[in-house]
Structure 1
Amino acid sequence: MHSLQSLRCLAPAAVRALIRSNRINVRNTSGMAEGFNQANVVIVHKSLAEDFEKFCHANSGPLPLLYRSAPGEWKSPPLSNDSDIRTDCLQYRKYENGEFTESLSNLERYSEQLEDMVTFYLGCSFSFESAVQKMGVPVRNVEQKCNVSMYKTAVPCFSIASFQCPLVVTMRPVPEDKLDAAVKATHPMRKYHGAPVHIGCPGLLGIKNLSAPDFGDPVQPLPGDIPVFWACGVTGIEAVISCRSQLAFTHSPGCMFITDNKNKDAPAQDVETTQLVHCISTNPLHYSIASSQAVEKIRYLEAVVGEDPGDRGIKHLFVQDELLKACLSLSHSKSILITTGFPTHFNHNPPEETDGPPGAIAMAAMLQALGKEVAIVTDKRAIEMNQSIIENAVEEGVLRTPVPLLFYQHEIEDSALRFLCDNGNPELPRFDHLVAIERTGMAADGNYYNARKMNIKHLVDPIDELFLTAKTIPGVTTTGIGDGGNELGMGKVKDAVKKHIVGGEVIACDVAADFAITAGVSNWGGYAIACGLYILNICEIHERYLRKAVGFPNLSQEKVWSASLPSVSKEEKMLTILVRHGIRSGMTGNLGMEVDGLPFYNAHSSVIQKLLEITSEPAPCSP
């Protein structure tokens, strides 16, 4: 009998010969014939072949089709010269009417039935293990001499006819500092599942217990390892079960067909070092990915909106990639709550300023276009005015559909929890992301201050409580957008506010958001988020990660998304609506086409135009 180490160095034909003669005592083919591709196998009756091929194309992440045989064809000419599918897998499974009935060492006794059956060879993740190892990424299942862990998920595949099943994934623990390398190594290998479909908490895929895989062996992570999940060809087995055909065969999970084809899709070891993987949540742990081009464009957006036209010292509040992480998190979110409203002009009615609402509406418009649920929460005293503003925004074409408007007030001890979650149950949050844009934030003494250190608490409902409570609810993330440090969420940078902003020791907001976006004018931060979401959702790498590599790319919606971007025309209309409602510029109190003392034309309009140019730029940009 041969050891795994000796099998690693053998040619594929030699390994297949050993398998055929039953001279291997290893339980899976991981690591065998290193550098050569392996394949999952599904064998179905010829009457189901067309539908199964369509199912593979509709779910190419888990089921990348390498070859479809003719009925009764034992060989696979594009994959090997001397193979026989009846004998060359380490172990097979037999299914009758969707039920697993038997494990088999070969299929020779079913040769007659196989004359009317078609074999599908599908890419396998064992094919990329040597590629990730060359990039310095350890493969724990190889190190531990066990099969890879495989799990059924709660993610549905795209159904075709009688083939409908959940996505199956493999999991490999990867050290956190090797996550980028794992993505870069596997992304080009589309024939073998490509880049990961999820990084982080298994519960987000519906996997309850990593130590109890549905197929394969439990693989033990080392300290510092992060669970990384790739789409898996065992999804084909679940598809066979779902169609309940009279007779079908598959490989046994981990017991692949070894091809004669060398892996030519692996990247060079000196691949660019641009970071692709970003942590967007620690509770639960969740990472997202995007292309280097998308990342650089969003960083350029961040640099543009971070300019300080009033020289107020806000550059000292800047934290790199807060815009990127907020956009990634929002891209994964399903239901978003936005809050705005800064009643700085307490001697006027209404006391609100023109900074905040336009940025909030711009974000809401893009989020709606992406199919997400969006609501806005503001002060009870301002509900009627904001309702009218939203209605006008729809009439003027700034918004496609109205945004639900809510208010929050503290009534009982757990008011915030009851507001954010169904029946106050933290396992049933109504929103998974909260965004505050130019929303007055509570200072350390419990009061709310404008930039002139005037206490405006009497005009403010305690929406801060929602952000504080959100930190106790797993899966709920928060973003704050501000331009002075006294806005909700900017507590994340309060030390810098106290040091660098005039009056900061008094006005600094004490409530931190997970992501704090600093902008020269807060509206610009809202525009940048809308643009960043668009960039991410047309990014092929990020879009594939969002849908877990099942179904088809959603780029048919790109025109709708593009039409939902902020524009000079739409923002001009939005500001006109606000002025019509008596809302004034924040710094000067002027009632006109002005925000924070800057004229709309040639100031705000030029920033909006610059953001749109970056967003539509086909090549990566640099500040």
Structure 2
Amino acid sequence: MQTAVRAARRSLRHWRSVSHSAMSSGYQQANVVILPNHLADDFEDFCQKNPAPLPLLYRGQPGETSCPPLAKHADIRTDISQYCVYEEGQMVKTVSSLQNYITRTGSEQAADCGFWSNMVCFYQGCSFGFEGQLKKAGIPVRNMEQGKNVSMYRTAVPCIPAGGFSCPLVVTMRPLPAAMLDTVVEVTHLNPQAHGAPVHIGDPALLGIQDISSPHYGDGVELQPGDVTVFWACGVTAIEAILSSKPPLAFSHSPGCMFLTDIPDSPSSTHKPLTCDGVDPTDPEQIPLSFLISHNPLLYSLASKRSVGKIRQLETIIGEDPGQRGIKALFVQDELLRSCLALSHASHVAITTGFPTHYMHNPPDETDGPPGAIAMATMLLSLGKQVTMVIDKRDVEMNQAIIDEAVRNGVLKSAIPLVTFEDSGPDSALHFLCHNGDPNKPRYDHLVAIERSGRAADGNYYNMRGINIKHLVDPIDDLFIAAKNIPGITTTGIGDGGNELGMGKVREKVESLMPKGSLIACDVPADYAITAGVSNWGGYAVACGLYLLHTCPSHLRYLKKGLGLTTPQDQLQDWTANLPSVEKEESILATLMNFGIRSGKTGNLAMEVDGLTFHPTHSDIITKLLEATQGSPASSKA
């Protein structure tokens, strides 16, 4: 069948590229690059470093015009409907055959065996290979519906260079129904030869694409109501590589005019599947799930079923309530997961903590909050994020000493800056969060509050006994309120009683279900409200969740846009070393006690948090979290 199609192509040189998607449903298609032999090893290295855009199906031998592993009776000089010809990094023409290609000098090179003996052909997977599977799954493929070629865009994301090859990533875009994203992700994940799962779902500007209506290659495809823009790495990246490396002579397929293989596009194909970081894409536990993590800008993220199951297990562990506060009534599933996903995409995180519940003591702070904040900070630092701590001005000197001690004891990876915030006018929060007060230039992309006093509806701040402690609290809540109107900043609140900053998201539950809820309930919401039996546990769980995501091949591939997927062993060891541990958390609690910071519920100056002794209660929770993170895979339900 496909042999006959290729034969027909040799006699019909006028086929439109847009027809290739529809006519070859059921078979993989391939992008093609033909380069001089002296560049072949570097280009193969370039493909291996950038596997999502350049999934290498076959590298030919010098001079080879057939490709037996992919197609019988093929001739690469004639079996593509349109080729691009490049000289010194410039596309000089398109031709319908390479058999009679004539260079600018006029010599008939195609007939010269010496010419072809110096050329090497690379065949790479193409996203057209999964369109048939999408249709079989009931997914509307808009470019096919509209009779158009797929939209292709040059992004601002740089590929990993190799030799003389260095260029931006090119992506294809398909508008797809948001309600069907999990099916879309699964179908394409199972077809790694055709670029695998998406590398971005959401706002095109996050890829540096400013005008979605003007693709760099292909045709503009219109969105339908309920659609979101879904992007896959694209083999046209290889064309950009040719343009940037400027080989004296090179060829490629013309975008949309693919080489048709004999390989079925079904995941059951006998062709050896490509893998992501050594992971079998057919492993059901590695199939990614999609999650909406930001509305402004629109952004979805991916994580494997296995990692999602483990993070949900962490969420269950921190929901234990030995203090019997009734915190389970405030629980919202997957707040931990979505917060961790958003933090994974962040580059600069601001963390705030501090609950001066002991207003009769000096210092008035409690032992819940700082340990969890430091646990999150050290994992974020390990992952290469910037971290800033926002604190009350009354606490600067003490908190600096605590940070310094945590670094000396190995609890905190490295020192982090401490800053304060004061309400000095109507735009104070905007200027704090954004460079020069410009909402298009935020300093931070995620704010986290853990066991931080939260403003109630009447403007006051209350501890769990209903005592107003406003005189001890700076208006850091204003930052969370302002962040709602600044694109690119998401927020997380972690609490265990409902009066903490960020718990405004579950305010109605707090008011009706928690003691003194109608008085103490925080009125300021966060995008994600993580509830825990003790707030520190929420911080530990975030650190563990971030570790799980960065050791999840499906998430890491999405985060890196399918580029440079290998994780160095020393980096993995650093992540592991910066997980919370019983020893580290015991050390930071001892430090807090030495500074006179007391247990929240009892006011005891002792090794306890919220009236619960470190051993066995807190140490047991930390152990359970680590076992769920590093132990046997958790059962996961999508």
Superposition TM-score, scaled by structure 2 size: 0.94
Shift, 1:617, TM fit: 2.0
- Write the mapping of 1:181-580 to structure 2, written as runs, cut at 5 A: 181-265=183-267, 276-556=289-569, 557-580=571-594
Residue identity over aligned pairs, in percent, reads: 59
CA distance in structure 1 between the partners assigned to 2:295 and 2:267 by the alignment: 33
Structure 1 counterpart of 2:231, one-letter code = F
Match of residue 64, structure 2, among 47, 70, 73: 73
The 1:275–1:158 alpha-carbon spacing in structure 2 relative to 1, beyond 3 Å, is closer
Structure 2 counterpart of 1:579, one-letter code = M
1:477-531 CA distance string (max 9 Å, x none): 0000000000000000000000001111011000000000000100000000000
Q: Secondary structure at the match of 2:390?
A: strand
1:30 maps onto 2:44 in alignment = no
What corresponds to 1:12 in structure 2? 2
Shift, 1:275, TM fit: 7.3
What corresponds to 1:41 in structure 2? 32
Shift, 1:563, TM fit: 0.5
Structure 1 counterpart of 2:414, one-letter code = T
What's the C-alpha RMSD, in Å, of the aligned pairs?
A: 1.7
What corresponds to 2:148 in structure 1? 146
Q: Secondary structure at the match of 1:16?
A: helix
Q: Secondary structure at the match of 1:517?
A: strand
Greater Cα shift, 309-318 or 486-495 = 309-318
Structure 1 counterpart of 2:204, one-letter code = P
Q: Secondary structure at the match of 1:418?
A: helix
Shift, 1:307, TM fit: 1.7
Shift, 1:569, TM fit: 0.4
1:564-621 CA distance string (max 9 Å, x none): 0000000000000000000000010000001001000010110000000000123223
Shift, 1:347, TM fit: 0.6
Preserved contact between residue 78 and residue 98 of structure 2 (Cα < 8 Å): yes
The 1:484–1:165 alpha-carbon spacing in structure 2 relative to 1, beyond 3 Å, is same
1:251-278 CA distance string (max 9 Å, x none): 0001000011223426999x89987100
Preserved contact between residue 544 and residue 553 of structure 1 (Cα < 8 Å): no
Preserved contact between residue 286 and residue 304 of structure 2 (Cα < 8 Å): no
Q: Give structure 2 stretches of 5+ with no counterpart.
A: 102-109, 270-280
Q: Give structure 1 stretches of 5+ with no counterpart.
A: 1-10
Preserved contact between residue 185 and residue 266 of structure 1 (Cα < 8 Å): no
Q: Secondary structure at the match of 1:31?
A: helix
CA distance in structure 1 between the partners assigned to 2:81 and 2:492 by the alignment: 52
1:346-371 CA distance string (max 9 Å, x none): 11000000000000000001000001
CA distance in structure 2 between the partners assigned to 1:31 and 1:598 by the alignment: 65
Shift, 1:23, TM fit: 5.7
Task: Give the ranges of 4+ consecutive aligned residues of structure 1 lying more than 6 Å apart after TM superposition.
Answer: 271-275
Shift, 1:114, TM fit: 3.3
Shift, 1:73, TM fit: 1.4
Shift, 1:151, TM fit: 0.4
CA distance in structure 2 between the partners assigned to 1:620 and 1:265 by the alignment: 26
Match of residue 582, structure 1, among 579, 596, 601: 596
1:404-446 CA distance string (max 9 Å, x none): 1111111122111111111111111110000000000001111
Match of residue 176, structure 1, among 154, 175, 178: 178
Structure 2 counterpart of 1:85, one-letter code = I
CA distance in structure 1 between the partners assigned to 2:68 and 2:498 by the alignment: 66
CA distance in structure 2 between the partners assigned to 1:430 and 1:554 by the alignment: 28
CA distance in structure 2 between the partners assigned to 1:622 and 1:19 by the alignment: 48
Structure 2 counterpart of 1:39, one-letter code = A
Q: Secondary structure at the match of 1:108?
A: coil
Q: Secondary structure at the match of 1:170?
A: strand
Superposition TM-score, scaled by structure 1 size: 0.96
Greater Cα shift, 485-494 or 90-99 = 90-99
